Amino acid sequence: MNVVDETNYGPLTDLIGSWEGKKGKDIAPEPGGTEVNSYYDNIVFKGIGETENAESQLLSVVFYTQEVRRNSNDNMIHHETGYWLWEQGSETVVHSLTIPRGICVLASGGFETSTDNAVLNVSAAISEQDWQIIQSPFMAKNAKMKSYVQQVKVSKETLCYSQTMLLDIYGKEFAHTDTNTLNRK
């Protein structure tokens, strides 16, 4: 049992805390091709306890904020806030996130744990009935996110993530990817 503040956070336990990474790689679309940026980011995860749905589903809840800045000029290129949820007694994790471009994602999947780490795998797609992506009319017309896939590997001192957002942008599909390894502060 992984207990913090008297809550069993299960596979989310090691997320809780502050993290920083300085060697992120962002592969983003440009009208004429691809832009590659190196970045650093800070993520703060806070365990906020349990919540119960319909008196039959018990969720452990971790809130977070993420701020991403370019290494070259310190400009912010991404800000995100959201929640990681674990349905206690199950193999299910949920990641709900919002980015201030008019996009919300509700992704779900499974996890694997060992004595050293947890691996969380989630996905969502506009074509999925349950785990979807909601976006503003502007984004749907000009930079539609069609799918979202993320893997997070977390241990006591290291957090690695890789995420791919399949976009319909500039008249083509583009796999926008972000990867980084962060260390606990």
> How much is the pTM?
0.94
Q: What is the pLDDT of residues 73-98, one digit of tens each?
A: 999 999 999 999 999 989 999 999 99
Token digits for 7?
């809550």
Calculate mean pLDDT across residues 92-112.
97
pLDDT category of residue 6 using cuts at 50, 70 and 90 = confident
The mean pLDDT value of the chain amounts to 95
C-alpha to C-alpha distance for 18 and 183, rounded to whole angstroms: 8
C-alpha to C-alpha distance for 168 and 170, rounded to whole angstroms: 7
So what's the pLDDT on residue 3?
A: 56
For residue 136, which of 174, 84, 109, 98 has the smallest C-alpha distance?
98
Query: What are the residue ranges spanned by the domains of the chain?
Result: 3-184
**Least confident range of 4-13, 56-65, 104-113, 116-125:** 4-13
pLDDT category of residue 1 using cuts at 50, 70 and 90 = very low
For residue 83, which of 66, 100, 63, 68 has the smallest C-alpha distance?
63
Residue 173 scores a pLDDT above 90: yes
pLDDT category of residue 128 using cuts at 50, 70 and 90 = very high
CATH class of the domain defined by 3-184: mainly beta
